[in-house]
Structure 1
Amino acid sequence: MKVLVVDDSAHNRRLLSELLESSPDVKVVGTAIDGNEGLRQVMALHPDVVTLDLEMPRLGGYSFLRLLKSTAPTPVIVISSYAHKTDVFKALELGAFDFIAKPAKLTTEVLEKLRKELQEKVHAARLVRPEMKPVKRPKVMTLEPSFVVGIGASTGGPPAVQRLLESLSPEPSMSLLVCQHMPKQFTRAFAERLDRLGPFSVREAQEGDLLAPGHVFIAPGGRQLVVYRQNGQYVLGTPPPTMQDKHAPSVDRLFMSLAEVFGSKTIGVVLTGMGSDGALGSKAIQRAGGEVWAESEETAVIYGMPQEAVATGAVSRVLPLGEIGPALVELARKRR
């Protein structure tokens, strides 16, 4: 696998190259100090994946993404610091595949975590199709207010979640709860970005929020997202993870909570991601009489989470990403 590293810092170029090439099937074929050189290297070296720093002299990251998309579409992973989290989602909107948070301190433990995340996302990015066309929006949608959709995603998830939300009509009456594996410093910016892109009201969930039709709540990074009934209302909880939780936020915890509270009125949707988070929760939704859908292998960047959910026998529908939103609309009309 050929990777091009674009970063104006010599230290970062050297570090990223070493971390990438610690994988035997990854080769850093070139580096670039700015967007101009990066574009020349893309045309000359034809890398499978590009890692990109956004803040560079001469031609910066945003301009690089725009030009790359129109000249030589290539999967891009943005490397960004926590201090510039809002920039990440602008880059995703411009076509970047995913991002990695650049740590402030490089301890041995932090470097190992960065190495694993970098290699995982580079391998995943190689599978994407940058030329993929956006989904057309259905024109009409009416849903029961108690129709609740839980969405779980990990690697490759931010653009997948965006595409799913954009495929729904501008008159939603369902509630959606999203569990996207993401560092806690980024989930609020992710919610704010989605809120500006479509008809839904999107926000990062906070303890005590009321579940409401036409709203999307993003699970806060580092915490869980659950629902409970109180005084006739559905209230969101964001408890800290327990020792038993492998992920925070956890798709399993969200799905189990929805199954317990909403039963047959629950739809669980498992999107792209590595690992098995969501499999246990899918079984809980099935036992409660709800439905579980999974993204198909043909569109999933990483088919790990959907595949594990399907293996439980709880999944009733396996759909390409572009068909999930319209299928939710169709189901809601039947339930009116």
Structure 2
Amino acid sequence: MTTMGDVANGKSARTRSLVDALVRWLFNLWESHTDFSDAGTAELIRDSVDAVEETLVRARQEEDAYQEVVLRALGRRFPDGVPPADRELYPRQNKIPEEVWARPVFVYRKARQEGASPAEAKLRALGRVRELAEADIKMAQRERASRILQSAAPQGVIGYRRIIHPERSKTGTCGLCLVAANRIYSTGELYPLHTGCQCEVLPITEEHDPGLHLNREDLDAIYRIAGSTGASDLSNTRIKEYVSGEWGSVLRKHDRSTASGLSPRDEKFALPAEDAQRYSRVSDPERMVRRLNKSRSELGEWESRRGSASRSRKSNLEKTLEYWEKMAG
């Protein structure tokens, strides 16, 4: 008999396959590149963005299929009114993908300035490529899940919780997610992420909270393996959440050296309270229109400085703006 855990694990594995396929493709593209000047990287960035945007659509479709199965198991249906997977916006708020995918170029240049060989500099750039690909897909699925569950609220979906996947973490059990596993998030809320997060989400209804049972099983197993000392360390992990203008809600280990509990770097990116609420939730149609108009303007500026975006990229942006303008009335 297929369990909720099986469904969540299957979805996580398929998402991992999407990430790995994208990273392999991007590595092949970047490894063969030699000219890291502005002019020499225009096509590199354009091709990277096109591949990422295509994969994000597939990642959202994977989230749709997963949530449809889960909602059906809870006696609900996939809600009406959820936008097509190809009519969502790049998930990093206040950023166009071209700007983000120029970052590995800057990593390469900085490494060379610090005396690294071309081969070493490229390895550092490839590490950044992997980080960006993993985060982009995770943020896209997080946003998609929150939008679906927000639309399902009239059917009695009252919130959701994160489902930990300790077996999928390359560095072992994540104390941040273990602590956050007990938290319940409202529909439409973007749950806090951290770099390399492997969590999935499951909805909560008035009758059912399937994630509570799954997390309890995983936590009990982790604490048994960790032993008394390790279990105490994990359970005593202190976390801190903040909202950034790019990632939305972010999860970090509490920094004891600062009054805020955030590292100096995180303090720099944390939004003030009056903005944090807006950036920690799924965008409504009016805000989507504002974000899309801003993206269109920034893409035009990018093209004037660094080279044109692909025809499909610009066409999709216009179609997405048209869709959300219609939704906004």
State TM-score, norm by structure 2.
Answer: 0.28
Going by fraction, where is helix more abundant, 1 or 2?
2
State TM-score, norm by structure 1.
Answer: 0.27
Q: Which has the higher contact order (CA 8 A, sep 6+)?
A: 2
